[in-house]
């Protein structure tokens, strides 16, 4: 007769939990905590500045008859921002054109006379003095034509000055003249700045200057993203009042979300240091709690609080405390959390 052995339900459930936990532990992917040389980053505050910031002035006299832009307006390079009455300049152009026509006619007459005298002189029918006078007259006519041509170009240039154009793409920050006012050469008309090219000015303590000057590698935080500086300029003279050096970071053209006058976080690379590194995906963030799931040699999972350092590339992060080199952490925090819960349930059932 065959005897049947019956186990309590809780024994079977516990066995299933242990088998499931063991299977999950076997499938859990882990990575070893290792050391790596990371860049030493010093974070400072800087102020954004516009590289192209200027005041446009009048280059010809006249009454302002048109203002096409005002404060906070965006202008493109070449747009006419102010128009000056060009009546006087138009008259000067017409006068210069007339003077040039007269000079051309005189030069043509002098050339014809020179050719006539030259032909007769070759036959020794006129004196050498007559030939010299014809030559001199032609030279003077040519010089007068050149002067008239230059005067016409100058008059035409003065006419173009009546249409004041934007020197670059930018935003108007100040309007300094009104319609009806008389502008003189040098009179300020508008002030503007370009948002296409931005630099950041930072006061750096002198104890960091040697490494910063050697590395010349920096980044600025713009809208939560770190943007690498295209150029790092270190001023060679310190400010004796603050014992700091001025450093400028030129950002790539077209960076959006940054305006002159804003405070910007800047990170300077100053050498390297050895740090523990783990994958960013293995880190668990719970409100203000930061931790990882550590897997011991027996396959058991433990939750460990850690303190993070700087980033170590796009996929890794450094660890300041909480882990030891050679320990293994779970790459998938969700799977590790399920396994830890299963282990705790099995432990409670055992008790």
User: Average per-residue pLDDT in the chain?
Assistant: 86
Summarised one tens digit per residue, pLDDT across range 273-332 is 778 888 888 999 887 889 999 998 888 899 999 998 877 777 888 888 989 888 999 988
State residue 333's pLDDT score.
87
Neighbour tally for 267: CB within 10 Å: 19
Spatial CA neighbour of 168 closest among 190, 201, 145, 183: 190
What global pTM score does this model have?
0.62
CA-nearest of 215, 322, 246, 276 to 31 is: 276
Q: Which residue has the tokens 């152009």?
A: 93
Question: Does 184 score more than 60 pLDDT?
Answer: yes
- At 248 the pLDDT is 94
User: What CA–CA distance (Å, rounded) separates 146 from 150?
Assistant: 6
Instruction: For residue 145, give every residue at least 6 positions away whose Cβ sits within 8 Å of its Cβ, in sequence order, or none.
Output: 100, 103, 104, 106, 107
Which domains does the chain possess?
A: 27-38+274-350 (2.40.420.20), 42-52+196-271 (2.40.30.170), 59-192 (2.40.50.100)
- 156 by Cβ neighbours in 10 Å (0-12 / 13-18 / 19+) ranks as middle
Q: Using one digit for the tens of pLDDT, what is the confidence trace for 201-227?
A: 999 998 888 888 888 889 999 988 889
Token pair belonging to 213: 């000057």
Give the pLDDT of residue 2. 34
- Where is mean pLDDT largest: 92-106, 127-141, 215-229? 92-106
Which pLDDT value is given to residue 179?
94
């Amino acid at each position: 007769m065959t005897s049947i052995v019956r186990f309590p339900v809780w024994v079977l459930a516990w066995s299933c939990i242990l088998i499931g936990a063991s299977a999950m532990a076997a499938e859990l992917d882990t990575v070893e905590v290792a050391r790596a040389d990371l860049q030493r980053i010093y974070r400072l505050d800087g102020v954004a500045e516009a590289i192209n910031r200027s005041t446009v002035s009048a280059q010809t006299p006249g009454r302002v008859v048109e203002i096409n832009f005002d404060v906070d307006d965006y202008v493109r390079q070449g747009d006419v921002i102010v128009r000056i009455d060009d009546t006087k300049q138009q008259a000067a152009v017409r006068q210069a054109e007339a003077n040039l026509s007269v000079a051309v006619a005189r030069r043509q007459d002098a050339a014809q006379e020179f050719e006539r005298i030259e032909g007769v002189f070759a036959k020794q029918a006129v004196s050498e003095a007559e030939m010299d006078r014809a030559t001199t007259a032609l030279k003077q006519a040519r010089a007068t034509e050149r002067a008239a041509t230059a005067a016409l170009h100058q008059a035409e240039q003065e006419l173009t000055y009546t249409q004041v154009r934007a020197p670059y793409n930018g935003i108007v920050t100040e309007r300094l003249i009104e319609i009806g006012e008389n502008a003189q050469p040098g009179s300020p008309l508008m002030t503007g700045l370009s948002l296409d090219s931005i630099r950041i000015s930072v006061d750096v303590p002198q104890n960091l200057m040697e490494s910063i000057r050697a590395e010349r590698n920096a980044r600025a935080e713009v809208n939560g993203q770190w943007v690498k500086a295209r150029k790092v300029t270190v001023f060679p003279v310190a400010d004796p009042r603050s014992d700091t050096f001025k450093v400028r970071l030129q950002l790539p053209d077209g960076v959006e979300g940054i305006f002159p006058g804003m405070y910007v976080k800047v990170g300077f690379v100053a050498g390297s240091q050895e740090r523990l590194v783990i994958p960013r995906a293995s880190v668990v963030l719970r409100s203000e709690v930061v931790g990882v799931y550590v897997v011991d040699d027996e396959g058991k999972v433990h939750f460990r609080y850690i303190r993070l350092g700087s980033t170590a590339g796009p996929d890794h992060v450094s660890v300041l405390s909480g882990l030891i080199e050679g320990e293994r952490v779970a790459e998938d925090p969700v799977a590790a959390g399920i396994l830890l819960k299963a282990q705790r349930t099995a432990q409670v059932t055992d008790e």
